[in-house]
């Protein structure tokens, strides 16, 4: 399929219910998509780019990285 020139890493999910109700399985899914998947895609692309001697990796993020969201936790 040719060389890898550019990776645009744009993946992310969130759990949209009460903070105290998020299960370990839901948390693991969020981490798998938002961190683990992004890391392995970048690592794999970087290996190809390193061999080629060039390439670009762009990571994008949610607006939640700039503007916080209200925590759904009522005491």
Residue 58, pLDDT score: 92
Q: In the predicted model, what is the mean pLDDT of residues 46-64?
A: 87
Domain ranges (residues) in the chain: 6-53
Question: Counting every residue, how long is the chain?
Answer: 75
SS3 (DSSP) at 15: coil
What's the confidence (pLDDT) of residue 12? 85
pTM passes above 0.75: no
Could you tell me which residues come within 8 angstroms of residue 11 by beta carbon, excluding any fewer than 6 positions away?
33, 34, 37, 38, 41
**Do the beta carbons of residue 58 and residue 6 sit within 8 Å?**
yes
Averaged pLDDT for residues 28-49: 93
């Amino acid at each position: 399929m040719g060389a890898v020139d550019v990776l645009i890493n744009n993946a992310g999910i969130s759990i949209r219910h009460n903070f105290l109700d998020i299960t370990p399985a839901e948390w693991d899914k969020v981490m798998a998509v938002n961190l683990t998947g992004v890391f392995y895609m970048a690592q794999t692309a970087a290996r190809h780019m390193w061999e080629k001697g060039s390439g670009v990796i762009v990571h994008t993020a949610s607006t939640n990285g700039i503007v916080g969201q209200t925590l759904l936790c009522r005491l």
